[in-house]
Amino acid sequence: MIKPHGGKLVNRFVEGKEREALEEKIPGMPRMRMNERELADFEMIAAGAMSPLEGFMTQDDYKSVLDLMRLDQGLPWTIPVVFSCKGDAADFKEGQDIALEDPAGTVLGVLHLEDKFPIDKIEEAEKVLLTSDEAHPGVQYLASIGDTYLGGRISAVNRPKHTTFLNYRLDPKETRVLFKAKGWNSVVAFQTRNPIHRAHEYLQKCALEIVDGLLIHPLMGATKSDDISGEIRMQCYEVLLANYYPKTRTAISVFPAAMRYAGPREAIFHALVRKNYGCSHLIVGRDHAGVGDYYGTYDAHYIFREFDPAEIAITPLFFDHAFFCTRCGNMASTKTCPHGSEDHVFLSGTKVRQMLTEGKLPPVEFTRPEVAEILMESTRAK
């Protein structure tokens, strides 16, 4: 099975006497509350999903990621994983321990503060998101946080409390056990924050022709307010897997990350993290992790050329724009179909939402009828 990024799967959950000793000290520590993105990052760091990270980035790693798309020691990494200071940064000193709370005020662990540093939000936005446009959701997030980052290793004493998708929450060590139990030596991951339509299904089944198994790995962390809810999306995934996919060659697990909408940089990030989960391949489609018109259609493909394939290790499977061609009579892509766009059935998310609002089911060439019915019902319920 593929090795984790950096060679070792990190585990920052403390147990036994170490946990007891830390819990005794927590009442005397200053407390700081994590926002939704930081909470997701905390859980992923602790479980090893962000290996080799053992905590939130210090300035050396942060600056190296911004400028070189690598951690300070040279390992490829493209997205800052950082913790914003709440309150007056002058109140916190390097070497101090800070108790980290979830939004409800429950302490989940400790940040062992190694570094605090001011940030230039415009610089981060332009280097990571490739824009400082205030309409970009990633720029809006940066505007919502403080001007200082706190870096250091974490120690997790409790898991975040989840009330949804409990049967689908698998840590990297658990997906690796699952793949081994299924006898899968090669596994392709599919990243999504949307319902799966026929074009997605086509890409997944093309990939299944060359690997042992498919992991549907939907992102269930923070997304844009107008994205379809995780609960509705999960219903869509379940009905598709039950009716249209081979049960022995597919699995589904929640990807707890928050969406950055960072386009090409996030495509690399998604690949590296899926390697930690034990996946050998990742489907990289059109405008992966994009939003609006901020990134070129295939920029998420081109960025992989900037790294040695051996240091990325997970294999990206690049797919062109897929659609149903009425003249071919089947699913196809720009690589395989000779016909013009007038013969292609492709609907934008905006168009689909408009159809649902008007009480019209999207055509079967675009989405499976069972999925269309779930989306229609959720629209009626609003």
Count other C-beta atoms under 10 Å from residue 25's C-beta.
11
170 with 308, same domain: the answer is yes
191 with 97, same domain: the answer is no
31 with 76, same domain: the answer is yes
Residue 361 lies in a domain: yes
Of the residues 92, 122, 156, the one at which a domain ends: 156
- Burial (0-12, 13-18, 19+ Cβ within 10 Å), 73: exposed
pLDDT at residue number 271: 98
pLDDT at residue number 358: 87
pLDDT along the chain (382 residues), means of 10: 97 96 96 97 98 98 98 98 95 96 96 97 98 97 97 97 94 98 98 90 96 96 82 94 96 96 97 98 92 93 97 96 94 94 83 83 91 89 72
207 with 329, same domain: the answer is yes
Q: Give the active site residues.
A: 193-194
Residue 320 is part of which domain span? Answer: 166-381
Position 236, amino acid: C
312 with 232, same domain: the answer is yes
Check which CATH number belongs to the domain holding 65 and give it: 3.10.400.10
- Mind giving me the DSSP string for 194-249? S---HHHHHHHHHHHTTSSEEEEEEB-S---TTSPPHHHHHHHHHHHHHHHS-GGG
Q: How far is CA 210 from CA 142, 187, 268, 317, 336, in A?
A: 40, 10, 21, 10, 18
pLDDT at residue number 81: 98
Q: Which two tokens stand for residue 311?
A: 């240091």
196 with 60, same domain: the answer is no
Does residue 52 contact residue 74 with C-beta atoms inside 8 Å? no
Residue 6 lies in a domain: no
223 with 344, same domain: the answer is yes
Of the residues 102, 128, 156, the one at which a domain ends: 156
pLDDT at residue number 44: 98
pLDDT at residue number 354: 83
Does residue 148 contact residue 119 with C-beta atoms inside 8 Å? yes
- Can you give the pTM of this predicted structure? 0.94
Q: Which residues 6+ apart lie within 8 Å of 245 measured at CB?
A: 204, 214
pLDDT at residue number 226: 75
Residue 11 lies in a domain: no
322 with 199, same domain: the answer is yes
pLDDT at residue number 28: 96
Candidates 154, 146, 96; CA nearest to 117 is 146
Does residue 83 contact residue 91 with C-beta atoms inside 8 Å? no
pLDDT at residue number 66: 98
Does residue 34 contact residue 83 with C-beta atoms inside 8 Å? yes
Residue 180 lies in a domain: yes
Is residue 153 classed as helix, strand or coil in its secondary structure? strand
Residue 298 lies in a domain: yes
pLDDT at residue number 379: 84
Residue 60 lies in a domain: yes
- The owner of tokens 């980035």 is 57
Does residue 199 contact residue 322 with C-beta atoms inside 8 Å? yes
149 with 230, same domain: the answer is no
Q: How far apart are CA 188 and CA 174, in angstroms?
A: 16
Does residue 276 contact residue 292 with C-beta atoms inside 8 Å? no
Residue 161 lies in a domain: no
Q: How far is CA 242 from CA 118, 190, 237, 239, 250, in A?
A: 50, 17, 9, 5, 10
162 φ, ψ to 5°? -115, 145
Residue 1 lies in a domain: no
Count other C-beta atoms under 10 Å from residue 318's C-beta.
16
Of the residues 156, 176, 202, the one at which a domain ends: 156
Number of domains observed in the structure of the chain: 2
145 with 185, same domain: the answer is no
Check which CATH number belongs to the domain holding 301 and give it: 3.40.50.620
146 with 206, same domain: the answer is no
322 with 228, same domain: the answer is yes
